[in-house]
Amino acid sequence: MSCSCRRSGGAVGTSARPTVTACSPLNRGYAAELLAAVDLPADFASRYPHELSGGQRQRVSIARALAAEPDIPLCDEVTSALDADTAAGIMALLTGLRAERGLALALISHDLPLVTDHADTLITLDQGRTTEGAGHAPPVPLPSGDRLRWR
pLDDT tens readout for residues 118-151: 888 888 887 878 776 555 544 445 555 555 544 3
Which CATH number describes the domain made up of 70-151?
A: 3.40.50.300
Are 71 and 32 a contacting pair, CB within 8 Å?
no
At residue 47, what is the residue type? R
Q: How far apart are the first and last CA of the chain?
A: 45
Let me know if 7 is exposed, middle or buried by CB neighbors in 10 A (0-12, 13-18, 19+): buried
**Cβ–Cβ contacts within 10 Å for residue 27, how many?**
21
Q: Where are the domains of the chain?
A: 1-68, 70-151
Entry pTM: 0.73
What mean pLDDT is predicted for residues 59-77?
Answer: 92
- pLDDT bracket for residue 29 (50, 70, 90): confident
